[in-house]
């Protein structure tokens, strides 16, 4: 079993707020994927998780519900501990650089 933590500043987590903005069914699907990450860690593999090659420590949790695609960026913080950084709904084939930059900004605060 692995540990999943939610990055928070001033008692607010960007990922928790993102999840709360989704419909109940989407929330359930997102939380199920987070549970899978907690259960299997990096062994979960594709299509559930993917390392962003351009960025050393940045990974994405990949969630699909119906026609909606969600991504949650996370940090493999230390052996068995993952920190969820930022979530968004993907609306195109490419991940917007602005979303990656938000996750990198949080990542740099942690380091």
Give me the domains of the chain, ranges plus CATH numbers. 3-110 (3.30.2310.20)
Please tell me the distance from the alpha carbon of residue 62 to that of residue 64, in angstroms, as a whole number.
7
| Residue ranges for the chain with pLDDT beneath 50 | none
Alpha-carbon Rg for the chain in angstroms: 13
Q: Which of 30, 104, 99 is nearest to 70 (CA)?
A: 30
Which is it for the CA torsion 19, 103, 48, 42, positive or negative? negative
pLDDT of residue 92: 85
pLDDT of residue 39: 96
Can the peptide bond before residue 8 be classed as cis, meaning omega within 30 degrees of 0?
Answer: no
Return d(Cα 45, Cα 62) in angstroms, integer. 10
pLDDT in tens, 33-46: 999 999 999 999 99
- pLDDT score recorded for residue 55: 84
pLDDT at 97: 92
Task: Write out pLDDT tens, residues 61-73.
Answer: 999 999 999 999 9
């Amino acid at each position: 079993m692995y540990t999943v933590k939610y990055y928070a500043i001033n008692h607010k987590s960007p990922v928790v707020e993102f999840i709360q903005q989704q419909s109940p069914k989407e929330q359930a699907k997102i939380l199920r994927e987070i549970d899978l990450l907690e259960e299997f860690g990096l062994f979960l593999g594709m299509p559930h998780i993917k390392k962003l090659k351009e960025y050393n420590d940045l990974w994405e949790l990949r969630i699909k519900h119906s026609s909606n695609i969600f991504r949650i960026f996370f940090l493999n913080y230390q052996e068995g501990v993952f920190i969820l950084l930022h979530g968004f709904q993907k609306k195109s084939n490419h991940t917007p650089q602005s979303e990656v930059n938000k996750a990198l900004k949080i990542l740099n605060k942690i380091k």
